[in-house]
Amino acid sequence: MDSQHKGREIKMLDPRINAINNRLSGINRIIAVASGKGGVGKSIIASTMALLSAKSGLKSGLLDIDFTSPTTHIVLNARGLQPVEDRGIVPPEVNGVRYMSLVFYLGDKPSPLRGHELSDTLLEVLAYTVWGRLGLLVIDMPPGISDLTLDLLKYVRGAEYLIVTTPSKMSFETIRKLILLLRELRAPILGVVENMKMGGADYIRREVEVLGERYLGEIHYDEGLEDTLGRVEELLRTRFAAEVGEILRKIINVKPQY
């Protein structure tokens, strides 16, 4: 209290926190594609989901928050584009997808960021990106359960989590921890996708069911997939895209309980 002015003084507020809900208010569903380890195919699955969703007629967006190692621009072939400033930052549209990535500001330069810097970056991106009305926003997350996962859980309460693993026990061990964290924080889990499937082992399916989560399906290892990166029409004709489409259909029609 300020007795001299018979009033009250409140100190230190971050206006970005207030802006986030407003920025996300026009989005029907937010799906965060997450994993415990890197290299399991999150970015290409997230990008393909956004592309397929847009192609099906749903207004779709893709946000890459793997700030130190963004790669979705390679899948989308989004080089040479720039967001426009208009009461915020309006993301460009790439192959029908409204797309935001730090790559617009970094180019090919490395961005060595520590924990609180990653948090500040996420707050800036969430507070100032103008998505408008979207049926679906897909978020490509960095691997693991550190800063950005915790920040997304804190600031984007409505996000639903799609977990990606490979058939490896090592990969599953890391998503088990991710699932337990998401449960503790009461975040909705859509289910688990087994990517790069080779052979008929059902280890991941069994373990997911033991955990009581939904096994959404398998995506087979596709030797030709690498050659389609940046060539969206070819990418969408692959077996990989067909299998991502199956999973998308399963989750887009069912909204989990919060």
Residues near another protein (CB under 8 A) are 2, 5-19, 22, 67, 83, 85-89, 102, 105-107, 109-113, 117-118, 120-121, 124-125, 127-128, 130
d(CA 242, CA 240): 5
Rounded to the nearest whole angstrom, what is the least distance from the CB of residue 105 to another protein in the complex?
A: 4
Full DSSP string of 167-184: S-HHHHHHHHHHHHHHHH
Q: Residue 125 or residue 136: which is nearer to another protein going by CB?
A: 125
Rg (CA), the chain: 19
Residue with smaller CB distance to another protein, 15 or 199: 15
Nearest distance from C-beta of residue 113 to another protein, angstroms: 6
- The smaller minimum CB distance to another protein, of residues 9 and 233, is found at 9
Q: To 5 degrees, how large is the angle CA 36–CA 198–CA 254?
A: 55
Instruction: Check if the beta carbon of residue 106 is closer than 8 Å to that of residue 79.
Output: no
- CB of 59 vs another protein, minimal distance in Å: 21
Give the nearest distance from C-beta 12 to another protein in angstroms: 6
3-state secondary structure of 100: strand
Please answer whether residues 229 and 75 qualify as being in contact, where contact means their C-beta atoms are separated by less than 8 angstroms. Answer: yes
Nearer to another protein, 107 or 200 (CB): 107
CB of 84 vs another protein, minimal distance in Å: 10
The crossing angle, in degrees rounded to 10, of helices 147-155 and 169-184 is 30
- State in angstroms the smallest separation of the CB of 187 from another protein: 25
Identify the CA nearest to 88 among candidates 96, 98, 79: 98
Is residue 161 classed exposed, middle or buried when 0-12, 13-18 and 19+ CB atoms within 10 A define those classes? Answer: buried
Shortest distance in whole angstroms from residue 157 CB to another protein: 17
Q: Cβ closer to another protein: 126 or 178?
A: 126
The nearer residue to another protein, 86 or 184, going by C-beta atoms, is 86
8 A C-beta contact, residue 194 and residue 215:
yes
CB nearer to another protein: give 36 or 142: 142
Between the alpha carbon of residue 1 and those of residues 13, 154, 212, the distances in Å are 17, 30, 52
